Amino acid sequence: MSDPGLSNSDDVREFLTSRRARITPEQAGLPAYGGNRRVAGLRREEVAMLAGVSVDYYTRLERGNLSGASDSVLEALARALQLDDAETAHLYDLARAADVAPRVRRRRSPQTVRPSLQRVIDAIVGAPAWVRNDRGDVLAANELGRALYLDLMAEEVKPPNASRFTFLNPKSRQFYANWEQAADDMVAILRSAAGRNPYDRDLTDLIGELSTRSEEFRTRWARHDVKYHRTGRKRVHHPIVGDLDLAFEALELPGEPGLRVNVYTADPGTPSEDALKLLASWAATQREAEYGRRS
């Protein structure tokens, strides 16, 4: 899914080629053999040797044919190409997709949440929380979550989508303190999702839209980078309370495959904690004002 409509074999070829190109012989513990190499990274025969497979077999794999590749072969490839956990999982996803017909794998991203799940995140007080699906649609949020992502929640297309906001809304460049990193992360998350479920029509449509409308997205999509987005820091400049430096946890929901809860907290005793409390007060004021208008 380098571009919408490209086959699994295209994805496999471009992923393996890009991972091979980034590893130098020195990094792989191999002699460089002088300065007359025609490739930036490892040669195919070097990857084959490191993985313990024949050159012909590795060439077949890199041309896009992972069908039938055993777990031991995939593990050997991951070691040879020095893949991290997210990249290794992506390789396995690509291999699984190669063995299953598209009509079997066609599954849509979840578009709704159960009322009980909404109540769970509403019960989280003092911390912004939201529920998103694999393609980054925000399906539910608590009051502080809606206040934190004020401009994202105001997007005309519903449900609001974090990737669409990042690449198509100019306000995202003021919101994210490090927009470049946020953009890199967003695309890597989408690439991982595409590997897990390559026949998700909603996901394919989103990637097609972003590829058509954003050169920044196209450039990043072509890198085939993938990553887990389970925990870390989120630094933003909020239009109401200013700078926030928050820790986040992304919690998978075993009962709702494809959905995750993101929860953001401020370190105790920091300006971000004060700003988050101020944001909560502002959000409560907005709620009361809205209630007054409706009464």
d(CA 3, CA 20): 21
Pick the CATH number of 115-294 from 3.40.50.2000, 3.20.20.70, 3.40.190.10, 3.30.450.180: 3.30.450.180
Cα separations in angstroms, 244 against 138, 237, 295:
20, 6, 34
Q: Which residue has the tokens 């309370």?
A: 241
Rounded average pLDDT over 224-237:
93
85-98 and 179-196 helices, crossing angle to 10°: 30
Tell me the per-residue pLDDT of 179-201, one tens digit each, with 9 for 90 and over. 999 999 999 999 999 998 888 88
- For the cut 50, the answer to whether the pLDDT of residue 228 exceeds it is yes
pLDDT at 32: 66
pTM of this structure: 0.86
Segment (H or E) for 238: strand 231-238
Give the domain ranges of the chain: 8-99, 115-294
d(CA 252, CA 247): 17
Contact (CB, 8 A) for 227 and 185: yes
Note whether 8-99 and 115-294 share their fold: no
pLDDT at 209: 96
CB atoms within 10 A of CB 279: 21
Residues in the chain: 295
pLDDT at 1: 44
Tell me the per-residue pLDDT of 117-147, one tens digit each, with 9 for 90 and over. 999 999 999 999 999 998 999 999 999 999 9
Which fold does the domain 8-99 belong to in CATH? 434 Repressor (Amino-terminal Domain) (1.10.260)
